[in-house]
């Protein structure tokens, strides 16, 4: 029993954090917001060069074969630096989906190799998300259709853009004609793959939300330490302190929930749906509280376009319903817990565990 | 990350589960806030001790099993899953015990620790005073040195179950000219000493759950001082954080309440139908308790790798106390008009235990350092915000 990360995992996270801190400052995010495509080819090139797209590609296709547990740390960094959707969607969610397809499935190896070298952008369409992120730039859309997995190329699809309050999020309504030519696997194999992909998508959002929460907390701590009223930093007042202490508490208690969910997904636990939904709810709740209390302690500045807080706040608000809204995840939790077969109580923290 | 238990841990769990099954009291003990219940709980503690279950983390020569923190979590899980009696001597076992182990002389350790483990001595705390609550450094009770004794005078309050306990431990001002947290000494005082008067305070449940302790020139041997003279504050604080945060109220207790709450909800489908919002309140309770448990395993893992736990304990305290309140509020909501019924009411649900828990939950955000103080600690020590 060791519910902690290895030194290597932590060092890796640290390295990614340092890279993103340098390469994705808030000014760059503001520039990206203003572009037509909503993406920076320069940032993308650096990310590929750094090998970030190859992280979870299997070693056979030139990647590092990194799993969900390490991603639970990395997605927090993607959130902290508000990296737009395409990276997590391609390098984590789509890669997981492709890897889960049977070896030899058409396009599987080719796409995985191209993800590893950073030469392909993949969007993922699932019925839980009414709109699909980054369709306008995607080379391939992996699309769910009645449990089947379809690979759609640009000339198979039509799309209509739906701008989001988070300008780094580029959503589209997609239309397509499924056919034998686009189908990678049928529903028999596809349903399990999609169930896992949905959980992975939710986990990617959970991790990013937690990172966003931490960023908003850090920005708020900086602000209340500098801003003075009544001759003192406002951060010395209890009413302000307690709001931020509440955010810190929510973040700290969401982390282990995220980590357990990642472990459950990686190991195909029977209760993975429960753990992932719990993580999604806990992390998004932390992010919303960080936004609410963050804007409050920023005072009127928090309501402006000018202060960086807004970019992280809007992303947190937007991601809350991505890969399953609250109703979806609450219902999944309730279904499991209220079932007569539910394994709950003090000796089931990690589900029904086997001996070593 | 490796989330399975070892064979040894599974065997430990199985042994404990068997023992509890064979030894649990056949009927619930009386409330430990009464003299009768207090003694029943003492007898139960003795039974635990005789089979080396009372202080599993203590070494074998002190009556324990030398368990690590994971085994301690397992112990708590099984203990609460079995609905075993509340632990009546936590003050001695969780607060004083570890302090003795760290600061006690050999003689003190040999004398007191086994008696704490067996609950032969039951301990009450003597920290708060009428004018020193959250501001504990404002302590005024004096301990004036007179040869090999201290002469203790003053008043302590909110001392849990002091009406029934044998000993008390706490901080007293041994340097009359000192200020704040300087000049305090940590003393252990027998409650039957001449000059000690105990006045019970009735709690919300109508029982003598706590008391005021008056000291009128009580002579306390210097040998009953823990740590150096004038160093009492540091002695008291050294072990406060971790115990307060995690050990005092382990996640298992709340996981068991969440489980009972789910059962209560399922047993009352007509209420659930009239109040659809209940479902979310119920599942949020489980999620809160589950998060606390996951957090405990994470923290224990970090501690076993050598990490020090600081202000994080304050988060634990806030989380469990607010969770407990929320769970009992939800239970009251489900019980509706039956919620107010006392244990003696023929129509009370579950012997009025939800009401009893609801009343006690009101105290959670106040005792062991109010949640406002905990939030200050988090803001100042974790987030680095400036002091007022």
Residue B311 in domain: yes
Q: Spell out the domain ranges in chain A.
A: 189-339
Using the predicted structure, report yes or no on whether residue A355 has a pLDDT greater than 50.
no
B152 backbone dihedrals φ, ψ, rounded to 5°: -100, 130
Find chain B residues with C-beta within 8 A of A244's C-beta: 379, 383, 385
Domain interval for residue B254? 239-382
Residues B147 and B167 in one domain: yes
Residue B32 in domain: yes
Cβ of A354 within 8 Å of Cβ of B4? The answer is yes
Q: Which of residues 3-22 of B touch A (CB under 8 A)?
A: 3-7, 9-10, 13
Q: Residue A59, class by beta-carbon neighbours within 10 Å (0-12 exposed, 13-18 middle, 19+ buried)?
A: exposed
Residue B237 pLDDT class (50, 70, 90 cuts): confident
Q: Work out the average pLDDT over A86-100.
A: 95
Residues B349 and B245 in one domain: yes
Residues B376 and B253 in one domain: yes
Give the minimum alpha-carbon distance from A77 to chain B in angstroms, rounded to a whole number: 19
Considering B187, B209, B231, which residue would you say is the last residue of a domain? B231
Residues B264 and B321 in one domain: yes
Tell me the pairing of strands B142-146 and B123-126. Answer: unpaired
Cβ of B376 within 8 Å of Cβ of A238? The answer is yes
Q: Which of residues 60-99 of B touch A (CB under 8 A)?
A: 70, 74, 76-78, 80-81
Rounded to 10 deg, the angle between the B69-81 and B251-266 helix axes is 30
Give the minimum alpha-carbon distance from A294 to chain B in angstroms, rounded to a whole number: 14
Give the minimum alpha-carbon distance from B218 to chain A in angstroms, rounded to a whole number: 40
Residues B72 and B132 in one domain: no
Residue B115 in domain: no
Residue with tokens 């959503």: A171
The per-residue pLDDT for range A266-319, each reduced to its tens digit, is 999 999 999 999 999 999 999 999 999 999 999 999 999 999 999 999 999 999
Considering B38, B72, B88, which residue would you say is the last residue of a domain? B88
- R_g of chain B computed on alpha carbons: 21
Contact B384, A233 (CB under 8 A): no
Token digits of residue B299? 């923290």
Contact B260, A319 (CB under 8 A): no
Nearest to B209 by CA among B166, B156, B160: B160
* CATH number of the structural domain spanning residue B270: 1.20.140.10
Residues B200 and B273 in one domain: no
How distant is the alpha carbon of residue B355 from its chain centre?
Answer: 20
The SS3 of residue B45 is: helix
Q: Which of residues 221-250 of A touch B (CB under 8 A)?
A: 221, 224-225, 232-233, 235-238, 240-242, 244-246, 248-249
Residue B113 in domain: no
Residues B276 and B187 in one domain: no
Give the minimum alpha-carbon distance from B169 to chain A in angstroms, rounded to a whole number: 32
pLDDT at res. B245: 58
Neighbours of A330 (CB within 10 A): 20
Residues B243 and B376 in one domain: yes
Residue B359 in domain: yes
Interface ipTM > 0.90 = yes
Residue B104 in domain: no
- Render B85-151 in DSSP notation, one character per residue: PPPTTHIIIIIIHHHHHHH--HHHHHHHHHHHHTTSS-EEEE--BTTBSS-GGG---EEEEETTEEE
Residue B118 in domain: no
pLDDT at res. B249: 87
- Number of domains comprising chain B: 3
Cβ of A346 within 8 Å of Cβ of B81? The answer is yes
Q: Work out the average pLDDT over B369-377.
A: 95
Residues B250 and B362 in one domain: yes
Residue B114 in domain: no
Using the predicted structure, report yes or no on whether residue B241 has a pLDDT greater than 90.
no
What is the fold of A189-339?
Butyryl-CoA Dehydrogenase, subunit A; domain 3 (1.20.140)
Q: Is the pTM of this model over 0.80?
A: yes
Cβ of B287 within 8 Å of Cβ of A281? The answer is yes
Find chain B residues with C-beta within 8 A of A245's C-beta: 374-376, 378-379, 382-383
Residue A356 pLDDT class (50, 70, 90 cuts): very low
Residues B258 and B305 in one domain: yes
Residues B225 and B313 in one domain: no
Q: Residue A239, class by beta-carbon neighbours within 10 Å (0-12 exposed, 13-18 middle, 19+ buried)?
A: exposed
Residues B270 and B216 in one domain: no
Give the helix/strand (H/E) hosting A294. helix A272-297
The per-residue pLDDT for range B94-148, each reduced to its tens digit, is 999 999 999 999 999 999 999 999 999 999 999 999 999 999 999 999 999 999 9
């Amino acid at each position: 029993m060791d519910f902690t990360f290895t030194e290597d995992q932590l060092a890796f996270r640290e390295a990614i954090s340092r890279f993103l801190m340098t390469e994705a400052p808030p000014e760059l995010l503001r520039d990206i917001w203003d572009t037509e495509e909503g993406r920076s080819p320069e940032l993308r090139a650096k990310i590929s060069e750094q090998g970030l797209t190859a992280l979870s590609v299997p070693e056979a296709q030139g990647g590092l074969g990194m799993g969900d547990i390490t991603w639970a740390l990395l997605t927090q960094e993607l959130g902290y630096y508000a990296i737009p959707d395409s990276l997590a969607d391609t390098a984590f969610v789509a890669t997981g989906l492709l890897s889960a397809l049977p070896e030899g499935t058409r396009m599987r190896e080719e796409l995985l190799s191209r993800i590893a070298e950073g030469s392909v952008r993949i969007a993922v369409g699932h019925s839980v998300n009414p709109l699909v992120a980054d369709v306008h730039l995607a080379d391939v859309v992996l699309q769910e259709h009645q449990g089947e997995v379809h690979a759609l190329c640009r000339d198979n699809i039509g799309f209509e853009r739906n701008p989001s309050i988070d300008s780094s999020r580029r959503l589209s309504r997609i239309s397509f004609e499924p056919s034998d030519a686009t189908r990678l696997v049928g529903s028999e194999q596809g349903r399990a793959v999609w169930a896992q992909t949905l959980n992975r998508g939710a986990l990617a959002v959970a991790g990013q939300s937690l990172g966003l929460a931490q960023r908003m907390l850090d920005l708020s701590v900086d602000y209340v330490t500098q801003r003075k009223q009544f001759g003192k930093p406002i951060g010395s007042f209890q009413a302000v302190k307690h709001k931020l202490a509440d955010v810190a508490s929510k973040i700290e208690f969401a982390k282990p929930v995220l980590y357990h969910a990642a472990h459950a997904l990686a190991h195909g636990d029977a209760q993975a749906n429960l753990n992932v939904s719990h993580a999604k709810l806990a992390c998004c709740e932390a992010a919303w509280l960080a936004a609410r209390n963050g804007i409050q302690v920023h005072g009127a500045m928090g309501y402006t376009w000018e202060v960086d807080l807004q970019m992280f706040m809007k992303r947190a608000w937007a991601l809350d319903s991505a890969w399953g809204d609250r109703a979806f995840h609450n219902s999944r939790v309730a279904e499991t817990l209220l079932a007569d077969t539910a394994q709950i109580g003090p000796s089931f923290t990690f589900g029904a565990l086997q001996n070593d | 990350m490796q989330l399975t238990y070892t064979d040894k841990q599974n065997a430990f769990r199985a042994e404990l589960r068997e023992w509890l099954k064979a030894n649990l009291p056949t009927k619930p003990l009386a409330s430990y806030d009464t003299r009768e219940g207090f003694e029943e709980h003492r007898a139960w503690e003795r039974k635990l001790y005789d089979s080396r279950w009372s202080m599993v983390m203590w070494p074998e020569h002190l009556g324990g099993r030398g368990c690590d923190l994971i085994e301690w979590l397992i112990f708590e899980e099984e203990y609460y899953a079995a609905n075993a009696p509340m632990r009546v001597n936590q003050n001695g076992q969780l607060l004083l015990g570890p302090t003795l182990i760290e600061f006690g002389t050999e003689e003190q350790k040999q004398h007191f620790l086994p008696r704490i483990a067996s609950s032969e001595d039951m301990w009450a705390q003597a920290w708060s005073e009428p004018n020193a609550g959250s501001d504990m450094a404002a302590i005024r009770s004096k301990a004036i040195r007179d040869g090999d004794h201290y002469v203790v005078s003053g008043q302590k309050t909110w001392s849990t179950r002091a009406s029934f306990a044998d000993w008390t431990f706490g901080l007293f001002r041994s340097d009359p000219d000192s200020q704040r947290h300087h000049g305090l000494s940590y003393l252990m005082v027998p409650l039957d000493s001449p000059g000690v008067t105990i006045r019970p305070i009735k709690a919300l449940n109508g029982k003598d759950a706590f008391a005021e302790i008056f000291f009128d020139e009580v002579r306390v041997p210097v040998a009953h001082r823990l740590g150096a003279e004038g160093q009492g504050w540091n002695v008291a604080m050294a072990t406060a954080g971790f115990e307060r945060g995690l050990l005092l109220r382990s996640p298992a207790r709340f996981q068991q309440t969440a489980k009972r709450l789910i059962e209560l909800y399922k047993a009352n489908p007509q209420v659930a139908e009239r109040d659809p919002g209940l479902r979310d309140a119920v599942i949020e309770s489980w999620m809160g308790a589950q998060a606390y448990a996951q957090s405990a395993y994470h923290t224990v893992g970090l501690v076993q790798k050598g990490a020090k736990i600081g202000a994080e304990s304050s988060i634990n305290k806030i989380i469990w106390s607010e969770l407990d309140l929320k769970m009992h509020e939800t239970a009251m909501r489900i019980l509706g008009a039956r919620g107010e019924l006392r244990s003696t009411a023929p129509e009370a649900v579950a012997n009025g235990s939800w009401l009893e828990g609801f009343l006690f939950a009101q105290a959670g955000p106040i005792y062991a350092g109010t949640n406002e103080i905990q939030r200050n600690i988090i803001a100042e020590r974790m987030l680095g915000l400036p002091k007022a």
